[in-house]
Amino acid sequence: MEEDKLNKTATNKNLSELNPVQINDLLEKYSKESEIQKWDVGASSSSDISVQVQQGIAKQLKGSQRNSMTLRVWNKNNQVGITSTSDLTSEGIKKAMRGAVEASLFGNEKESPEFSSLAKAPLTKEDSKFSNSYTIDELLSILKNAEKQLIESHQSIDSVPYNGLNQSHIERIYINSEGANRYMKLSQSSIYLYAKAEEENKKPRSAGGIRINTNITDLDIKSCIKQTSDKIVSHLNYKPIETNKYLICFSPEAFLQLINAFSSMFNARSIIDGISLMNKDSIGEQISVPNLNISDEGLHPENIGAFSFDGEGTPTQNIKLVSKGILTNLLHSEATARKFGVKPTGHAGLGAKVSVSPDWLVISKSDSDMDKENGLNIKSTLKEYILIDELSAIHSGVKASQGSFSLPFDGWIVNNGKKTSIEAATVAGDILNVLKSIVKIEDEQVVTHQGISPHIWVENISITGEA
């Protein structure tokens, strides 16, 4: 009778209609049938609506519902089997259990993951509320208006070839056989505008902006339009740049892109796998100038879309990675934390091989201000420098395990306070040399969609001009 009730409740229903308790009951039932005493599961469900427009006409309208579940089981020999499925019905969960049990026969007996020691610890981040949903027609009207305003903001802007307005509702759970039971939900909305402008006898220029918030109502679309317009207009007057070494000012966005590209330095999984610049003995080493702080702050209030726990159920935590230029901590999963003799940090994903990744990087200046410029206003005292606004081709231009990078960028050459867009150029270097060549970290921290950072000044960086 109870089995029929569970099956009737769960059949043909996705996670957004299921209670974690019901999923737990199904898994307990099927694990007993399979003689499995130890198991855990991570599952998520998302509903997304997005629109794109072109010259005031709908270009693409999307609506999707995605479900996913990853199930791990430990057999009597402590071998682990893992399966993934998008079928979150009772029958789908039953098949996943059967598949995981079969896969466990091929598991490695000598190296087996465990439950996180913090999987049942109290969560420090409160569950966010779902925002009100907008219809596709409403999203389309908002984006059409944004496109129109952007094109009308300057006579040289002729189109917005890449754009999008999206709203998502996401739910996530983690449950294990020892009583851990996590559940949270969140909403996220975003707008992306990438415009193209062209003047007579000149090359087309482009620039973009993005905004993210918990709901459409609070999305700062006006500032996104203004930022995109101002940026693209500033690129209309351009010139080539000579290949040389320059003083560089990285915008907050660009510096965060660079640090994220080399986040394997702080990744314990990458260190164990031998694909990081750091090693097990790197904790305590000076890896940058002494006034640089880097932390991963998944709990930061500006981190839109942050989850309160990771794939293993470990609570999300704020971690100081670099303090006064010294590597102080690493990002850990349960397995890497065991190897290093520390606690997991809440940065794990659940999969066939548990991954580790940062949540939300925050760059700041340490209390011991040791700028080589002695606190002078570097912008007003220098005749010429390069302002890098955004890096491109991150995936192909970065060799994270070697520390080297060669990346095209959008930016300006600033001479006596006058900004002139750079036609085309590439910035290249070594990340550790960059971190040790910082000459100034500005006081003002800027919130971006990928983290927080001030402007960072670095000397003697190679710029290659392109014809």
The pLDDT of residue 434 is 97
Q: Is 58 a domain residue?
A: yes
**Same domain for 217 and 285:** no
Angle between helices 20-33 and 2-10 (to 10 degrees): 130
CB 110 within 8 A of CB 80: no
The pLDDT of residue 467 is 59
CB atoms within 10 A of CB 222: 11
The CATH number of residue 207's host domain is 3.30.2290.10
Structure token pair of residue 123:
């969560």
Report the number of secondary-structure helices (H) and strands (E) in the chain: 11, 21
Q: Is 415 a domain residue?
A: yes
Q: Give the end-to-end CA distance of the chain in Å, rounded to a whole number.
A: 76
**Same domain for 267 and 144:** no
The helix/strand/coil state of 135 is: coil
CB atoms within 10 A of CB 32: 10
Q: Is 229 a domain residue?
A: no
Total domains in the fold of the chain: 2
Of 200, 224, 248, at which residue does a domain stop?
224
**Same domain for 141 and 23:** yes
Structure token pair of residue 464:
């290659």
**Same domain for 212 and 241:** no
Distance of CA 328 to the CA centre of its chain: 22
**Same domain for 310 and 427:** yes
Q: Among residues 103, 119, 83, 87, which one has the least CA distance to residue 23?
A: 87
CB 83 within 8 A of CB 105: no
| DSSP string for residues in 367-410 | SS---TTTT--HHHH-SEEEEEEEE--HHHHEETTTTEEEEEEE
Encode the chain (467 residues) as per-residue pLDDT tens digits.
434 443 443 333 444 455 788 889 999 999 999 999 999 999 999 999 999 999 999 999 999 988 999 999 999 999 999 999 999 889 999 999 999 999 999 988 777 889 999 999 998 876 666 677 889 999 999 999 999 999 999 999 999 999 999 999 999 999 999 999 999 989 999 999 999 998 888 999 999 999 999 999 999 999 999 999 999 999 999 999 999 999 999 999 999 999 999 999 999 999 999 999 999 999 999 999 999 999 999 999 999 888 899 999 999 999 999 999 999 999 999 999 999 999 999 999 988 788 999 999 999 998 765 554 544 455 555 678 999 999 999 999 999 999 999 999 999 999 988 999 999 999 999 999 999 999 999 999 999 999 999 999 999 999 999 85
The helix/strand/coil state of 38 is: strand
Q: Is 261 a domain residue?
A: yes
Domain that holds residue 329: 237-467
Q: Is 231 a domain residue?
A: no
The helix/strand/coil state of 308 is: coil
Q: Among residues 18, 26, 45, which one has the least CA distance to residue 172?
A: 45
**Same domain for 152 and 60:** yes
Of 224, 257, 274, at which residue does a domain stop?
224
Q: Among residues 351, 142, 357, 146, which one has the least CA distance to residue 262?
A: 357
pTM for the whole thing?
A: 0.91
**Same domain for 147 and 65:** yes
Q: Is 466 a domain residue?
A: yes
d(C-alpha 160, C-alpha 209), whole Å: 11
**Same domain for 433 and 393:** yes
* 107 phi/psi in degrees, rounded to 5: -75, 160
**Same domain for 279 and 170:** no
CB 427 within 8 A of CB 409: yes
Q: Is 230 a domain residue?
A: no
**Same domain for 381 and 349:** yes
The pLDDT of residue 17 is 52
**Same domain for 271 and 138:** no
The pLDDT of residue 4 is 45
d(C-alpha 13, C-alpha 11), whole Å: 5
Structure token pair of residue 17:
């209609």
CB 113 within 8 A of CB 335: yes
* Helix, strand, coil percent content, the chain, rounded in steps of 5: 25, 35, 40
Q: Is 232 a domain residue?
A: no
In this structure, what is the dihedral angle of CA atoms 57, 59, 63, 64, given to the nearest 10 degrees? -170
**Same domain for 212 and 174:** yes
Of 195, 224, 253, at which residue does a domain stop?
224
d(C-alpha 326, C-alpha 8), whole Å: 57
